[in-house]
A and B are shown apart, each in its own frame.
Chain A
Amino acid sequence: MTTYQIDKKNIYRYLEEIKDPEVPVLSIIDLGIVRDIKMNDDEIEVIITPTYTGCPAMDMITTTIKIELATLGFKKIKVTQALSPAWTTEWMSEEGKRKLKEYGIAPPNPKQQVCDQKLFAAAEAVQCPHCDSYHTHRISEFGSTACKALYQCDDCKEPFDYFKCH
């Protein structure tokens, strides 16, 4: 590592460029899945945590991180997955939540209202990302990807994805 002067802060800036392949407006930093970076000369280890256990995007993210870091001159690149403590939507950055809404996906509510076992509990009040109305209803708890639920707005009638609490 003689030609580059790279510190952790710079690495984070590079990782900012890596997007979630399924929600391409969110970087892996926005998602809060990068937990730590360990550097030693031309060796680097990035510790990430999966959002959902079966999320198929994780393998792709791992590969992209390796490719990005290789272009910076690192010889030994390791991406380690840490499961504990488990990822939570609370780790998503405010910037990330703003970007999600702009993209048309309702960001996760800050309070985890539905992560309990109660059956037929009233659906969470989720704001429509299109018209900002709270008059919305849940169509299905499971959506197009593991991390999303399906909602519809009762005012503007648009269906939308909600990044569900986790």
Chain B
Amino acid sequence: MNLQNLINYSLHLADNSLILGQRNAGWCGHGPVLEQDIAITNISLDLIGQARNFYQYAATLINQLTNKPINPATEDSLAYLRKEREFRNCLLVEQPNGDWAQTILRQFFFSQYQYLLFEQLQNGKDGQLAAIAEKSLKEVTYHLRWSGEWVIRLGDGTEESHKRMVKAIEELWRYTGEMFIPADYEKQTGIDFNKIKEEWNEKINIVFSEASLIPPSGGGGAFMQTGGKEGIHTEHLGYILTELQYMQRAYPGCVW
């Protein structure tokens, strides 16, 4: 893979984790019960940790590409000083928290994807990306189990919780297809996206059937929104960045 593609790919992986981590952090102090408030923010912390590793690697590569830059890229500059169109995260992770059902379903869809992706990535050609994937996979296993259990608990719970899960599926399903369509910078990664798609649908179906939920008609063939991987986002990302980047924009270079 050429260096520019590797940089874009690392940024894509980092952005996915950062934006979902930021979204989940919004629950801090607002979780339905204390234990679940702690759980969702723990997951947020894991995701931001992943993002740091990917950004650090991307920064090293960028500085390699721009021989002796005056302002070298850092994990912070990549998270705090890039514009909306430069972010390459999937559309799914930037969707609003909504209610608990929507947050849970977003996490479950993403964790299942990340689990299957990192399983392949840990044996991938790039040593550092493989190491980050290997390290993160253990945490992702926890995220996946936790969110999967919640999908079943809500889907197969009360009339109200079931109704909310159905609504969450309607909201989020259209953002899942993009994850399996490789962007240009993903084509040389050696990742088998068709395999991920197949296994992802299989796993989702198993959990959905236990949760008495059904995928929308058309399933994986339904209309899907795309563009996030190339920087074309839903309106939500701009608002996320406004909050996330505020301090560095208002007080450039400020530190704790």
Contacts and interface: CB of A to CB of B under 8 A. Distances in A.
A105 to B, nearest CB: 16
B137 to A, nearest CB: 8
B97 interface: no
A53 B38 contact: no
Contacts of A85: 134
Contact of A54 (B46, B134, B141): B46
A142 B141 contact: no
Contact of B138 (A115, A140, A142): A115
B35 to A, nearest CB: 4
B50 interface: yes
B149 A119 contact: yes
B47 A54 contact: yes
Interface residues of A, number: 27
Interface in A14-72: 50, 52-56
Interface stretch (A90-98, A128-136, A143-151): A143-151
B8 interface: no
Interface string A85-128: 11100000000000000000000000000011111100000000
B39 interface: yes
How would you classify the secondary structure of chain B's contact residues: helix, strand, loop or mixed? helix
B100 to A, nearest CB: 15
B142 A53 contact: no
A139 to B, nearest CB: 6
Contacts of B139: 52-53, 146
A83 B38 contact: no
B152 A143 contact: no
B152 A84 contact: no
Contact of A143 (B36, B38, B132): B38
Contact of A141 (B127, B136, B142): B142
B58 interface: no
A8 interface: no
A76 interface: no
Nearest to B122: A84
